[in-house]
Amino acid sequence: MTSGRQTAETDAMKSGRLLLVSNSTLHGSGYLDHCHEHIARFLGRKVKRVLFVPYALHDRDAYAETARKKFRTLGYELDSVHDAADPVDAVNKAEAIFIGGGNTFRLLKCLYDNHLLTEIRRRVLEDGVPYMGSSAGTNVATVSISTTNDMPIVFPPSFAAIGLVPFNINPHFLDADLNSRHMGETREQRIAQYHEEPDTPSVLGLREGSMLLVEGQRATLLGSTKARLFTRGQAAVEYEPGSDLSFLLTEL
């Protein structure tokens, strides 16, 4: 099977339209409230129905209903892939795809179990179907889930993900708390450990409140917080909202 890294490299020059959000809920606001304007602009008027993938949470019915209520306030109907008799057919007919957050390992295993990775990649990169991910849904859009924050509660066949972009993302990125007495590794140290392994791609640390918009060969950091980019063998770099990160789409 082709690895997520290889797939992302192959598809790097034909990136689709992606909205990759760090978190579904920002402190002090409701579900997707902090990014609902970005969602509406991203989906536009041509999209009428969104296919939701709730596999990252156990109660898929409740999760789909939460997402459905939110998207209806934005003017879109929402169907959940877990209700479909044939998930692959549902992806093939989708006008837009949204994969929600939860446990990344559970999500990726279900995508493999339902044979959806290749189909989602094809619909996004070849057919131009808009893809939105939040948290775990952002993780699986990248090369692999190796830089997720989640516990491996189940075991997917591989850590290789959909590979819509040729780098990894760490959603919910947290800076070290200098006043904390916690002696475990910081998020930055864990990403450094990842980069101790050979041939590991860059990792974009998306703080809560931030998101990455990809349109063809252009990638722009959006939201209210900065992002931190980690590249193997280089010093980490901070980027302000509005920054052009298009170079990441061709970094192999």
Catalytically active residues, by annotation = 135, 150, 172
- CA 252, CA 248: separation in Å to the nearest integer? 8
Angle at the Cα of 106 from the Cα atoms of 7 and 228, rounded to 5 degrees? 60
- CA-CA distance, 162 to 3, in Å (whole number)? 9
Which amino acid, residue 237? Answer: V
Rounded-to-integer distance, Cα 98 and Cα 83, Å = 15
What's the CA gap between 140 and 4, in Å, rounded?
10
